[in-house]
Chain A
Amino acid sequence: MTTLTVSGVTVDLGRRRVLEDVTFTVEPGELVGLIGPNGAGKTTLLRAVLGLVPMTKGSAAVAGRPVRSDRSRIGYVPQRHQFAWEFPISVESAVMTGLTGRLGLLRWPRQAAWRAVLAAIERVGLWELRRVPVGELSGGQRQRVLVARALALEPAVLLLDEPFNGLDMTTQRVLGALFDEFAAEGRCVLMSTHDILGAFDRCSRLLLLNRVLVADAPPERLRSPEPWQRTFGVDAGSPLLRVLAVA
């Protein structure tokens, strides 16, 4: 099984301990939501899994083998502001850059690579726009480019960092349905998000994170206020708890 296994991950940035002993798994077919307040370490956790920040302790593995041994098993969808949208590049070439690491030095994309790229573009609904410069796309279309770039690797694991940020409700729903499909195909999907209600509705399991992993359970079993209070540092009268109907 191509399970994503994160065990005992501890990360220090400077003298600050940002993550401590975070352990969880994501099984194939799961859409797992990573939830926590700003600065809780959500993005750092994703980056640590990808090997972009060093872990003080712990490890991340896909199917029992370290992430580093074959990076193309993980597709990463970063936050939109990380990408240089003003770069003169078409949607299809931008998606092709997702295969740069796998192709390796001095190798040009062949037919199989282009097939994967075009399939990913069709999948996210950008077929008509595949030759358009990325700078002319709307926020939701840009998010789809990043998703297609990750998808072109045909990865077993997808890591999505705040994929709904700054998008309107309609776009969120369409993208969310796409992520459901990825999970239904047997991929492990892990998504950090600020949208607690959306995650409650959509995810098969929620990870509540604030430096440590406070809770790891399906949404219907997160009905007590205690883990939410610990994660978000709110008191018993908080509107968050009322909206979630856990107070």
Chain B
Amino acid sequence: MSPAEFLSDLFNPELAFLPKALAVAVMSSIVCGVVGCHVVLRGMAFIGDAVAHAVFPGLAVAFVTQGSLVVGGAAAGVVTAVLVALFSQNRRVREDAVIGVLFVAAFALGLVVMARAPGYGGSLQQFLFGSIAGIPTSDLYTVAGAGLVILAVTFFAHKELVAVSLDRETASAMGVRVFWFDLLLYVSVAFAVVISVQVIGNILVLALLVTPAATARLLTDRLAAMMVISPLLGGGGSLAGLYLSWSYDLPTGATIVLVLTALFVMAWLFAPRHGLLARRRVPVDSDRQDPAGA
């Protein structure tokens, strides 16, 4: 299918779900792209995965009780975020095992709750792998509103989030409330996951958080540039992925993830300074351990 045909499908009133899915996919990937920069730079991809999984029981309860998915997911996400923030404060304990145990359990709980709903197999698949059909118009506004709030929060807390990521001990010594900024970041991750879950699916949502940000990191050494490139890649990848999935009748979430992954692999190979090929030519880090340069 040519891009022109895709465009005409987008404006076809009988296919009204398509532009809605596109809007939600692009908006949520932009939000995930920004939040994901912090996730990648802190090396908390695992925590992101845990939050993504733990949102599931909230979605399941909302689905079974016919409540709002966004509200249910957000509630579960916030509870999770608080738990993760509490566990991660004590850096002497290996919190990853505890998080691993708890959040797979949360996922299992979601599955059990889902099984109570009649005809759950199809809905389950939608939740896990995403679907472009059946997004209510009201969700467009919810996603847009929640997305703007998350972007505003990460913008206004930027200086604190960076200080904590760089050196949490010193930030704390200087009076930055480290716990509250951890919590803020985890809650932002939870919301970013919740708004992305419908189109991309619960299993694949981690890719929206991690892949564009990791790609952007390969392309730049400047945080500001990274936080612009990452959402651009995410949004562009979602657009391209939806187009390809619509043209070739492929699962949407998976196609978006594969497009983002292809971008990552290209950056990994060809990035100007940090790509594999560039590093073979110029050893960028050769002076790193050079004491004479001190």
Partner among A74, A78, A137, A141 whose Cβ is within 8 Å of the Cβ of B167: A78
**Contact B166 A97, beta carbon cutoff 8 Å:** yes
A224 within 8 Å of B by Cβ?
no
In the assembled complex, the Cα of A89 lies from the Cα of B156 at a distance in Å of: 18
User: Could you mark each residue 54-97 of chain A with 1 if its beta carbon is under 8 Å from any beta carbon of chain B, else 0?
Assistant: 00000000000000000110101010001110011110011001
Residues of the A chain whose Cβ atoms lie less than 8 Å from the Cβ of B42: 84
A233 within 8 Å of B by Cβ?
no
**Contact A167 B41, beta carbon cutoff 8 Å:** no
Q: Which residue on A lies nearest to B285, using beta carbons? A: A136
Minimum C-beta distance from B186 to chain A (A): 18
In the assembled complex, the Cα of A149 lies from the Cα of B167 at a distance in Å of: 11
B96 within 8 Å of A by Cβ?
no
In the assembled complex, the Cα of A144 lies from the Cα of B223 at a distance in Å of: 21
Q: Given A98-B174, A133-B221, do A138 and B166 touch, yes or no (CB 8 Å)?
A: no
A105 within 8 Å of B by Cβ?
yes
Partner among B160, B167, B288 whose Cβ is within 8 Å of the Cβ of A84: B167
Residues of the A chain whose Cβ atoms lie less than 8 Å from the Cβ of B151: none
Q: How large is the interface on B (under 10, 10 to 19, 20 to 34, 35 or more residues)?
A: 35 or more
Q: Given A88-B41, A138-B294, do A97 and B223 touch, yes or no (CB 8 Å)?
A: no
Residues of the A chain whose Cβ atoms lie less than 8 Å from the Cβ of B175: 71-72, 101-102
In the assembled complex, the Cα of A83 lies from the Cα of B173 at a distance in Å of: 14
**Contact B294 A83, beta carbon cutoff 8 Å:** no
Residues of the A chain whose Cβ atoms lie less than 8 Å from the Cβ of B223: 87-89, 93
**Contact B173 A138, beta carbon cutoff 8 Å:** no
**Contact B174 A101, beta carbon cutoff 8 Å:** yes
In the assembled complex, the Cα of A89 lies from the Cα of B163 at a distance in Å of: 11
Minimum C-beta distance from A246 to chain B (A): 31
In the assembled complex, the Cα of A78 lies from the Cα of B157 at a distance in Å of: 24
Q: Given A87-B41, A100-B159, do A76 and B294 touch, yes or no (CB 8 Å)?
A: no
Minimum C-beta distance from B182 to chain A (A): 15
In the assembled complex, the Cα of A153 lies from the Cα of B175 at a distance in Å of: 13
**Contact B162 A170, beta carbon cutoff 8 Å:** no
B172 within 8 Å of A by Cβ?
yes
B170 within 8 Å of A by Cβ?
yes
Q: Given A52-B172, A89-B166, A100-B160, do A141 and B294 touch, yes or no (CB 8 Å)?
A: yes
Q: Which residue on B lies nearest to A134, using beta carbons? A: B166
Partner among B159, B173, B291 whose Cβ is within 8 Å of the Cβ of A97: B159
A168 within 8 Å of B by Cβ?
yes
Partner among B176, B217, B288 whose Cβ is within 8 Å of the Cβ of A100: B176
Q: Could you show 24 A-B contacts with beta carbons less than 8 Å apart?
A: A47-B173, A50-B173, A51-B173, A52-B173, A71-B175, A72-B174, A78-B169, A78-B170, A83-B167, A87-B41, A87-B162, A88-B41, A88-B222, A88-B226, A89-B162, A94-B166, A100-B160, A100-B171, A136-B285, A138-B287, A138-B289, A167-B291, A170-B292, A171-B291
Known: A47-B173, A72-B175, A138-B290. 13 other contacts (CB 8 A): A78-B167, A82-B167, A84-B167, A87-B162, A88-B41, A88-B217, A88-B222, A97-B166, A98-B170, A100-B159, A101-B163, A136-B287, A139-B289
Q: What 8 pairs across the A-B complex have the smallest Cβ distances?
A: A140-B294, A101-B174, A101-B175, A171-B294, A100-B163, A168-B291, A50-B173, A133-B221
